[in-house]
Amino acid sequence: MFVDVHCHLSFPEFDHDREKVIERLTEEQVTVLIDPGINVPTSKKSIELAREYDFIFANVGLHPHEASSHVKESIFEELEALAKSPKVVAIGEIGLDYHYPDYNRQAQQDAFRQMLRVARTLDMAVVIHCRDAWEDMLQILTEESHSAMRGVMHCFSGDSGIAKECIRKGFKLSIPGTVTYKNSQLPEVIRNVSLADLLTETDAPYLSPVPFRGKRNEPSFVPLVTANIALIRGIPIPEAAKGIAQNTFELFRLSAP
Binding of Zn ion by 43 (CB under 5 A):
no
Q: Is residue 60 a contact point for Zn ion (CB under 5 A)?
A: no
Note whether 233 binds Zn ion by CB under 5 A.
no
Residue 37 found at the interface with Zn ion (CB under 5 A): no
Nearest alpha-carbon partner for 11 in 217, 181, 158, 213: 217
CA angle 120, 122, 127 (to 5 degrees): 65
Q: Which residue in the set 66, 129, 133, 171 belongs to the binding site for Zn ion (CB under 5 A)?
A: 129
Q: Which of 39, 62, 59 is nearest to 49 (CA)?
A: 59
DSSP letters of 52-121?
H-TTEEEEE---GGGGSSPPPHHHHHHHHHHTTSTTEEEEEEEEEE-SSTTS-HHHHHHHHHHHHHHHHH
Instruction: Name the closest residue to Zn ion (Cβ).
Output: 129
**199 contacts 152 by C-beta, under 8 angstroms:** yes
Choices 83-91, 125-133, 139-147, 212-220; region in contact with Zn ion by CB under 5 A: 125-133
Minimum CB–partner distance for residue 256 and Zn ion (Å): 25
Q: How far is the CB of 36 from Zn ion (least distance, A)?
A: 6
Residues touching Zn ion: how many (CB under 5 A)? 2
Question: Least separation, in Å, of the C-beta of 237 and Zn ion?
Answer: 25
Closest CB to Zn ion among 4 and 93? 93
Nearest 5°: phi and psi at 95? 145, -150
Nearer to Zn ion, 92 or 243 (CB): 92
Give residues in contact with Zn ion (CB under 5 A): 93, 129
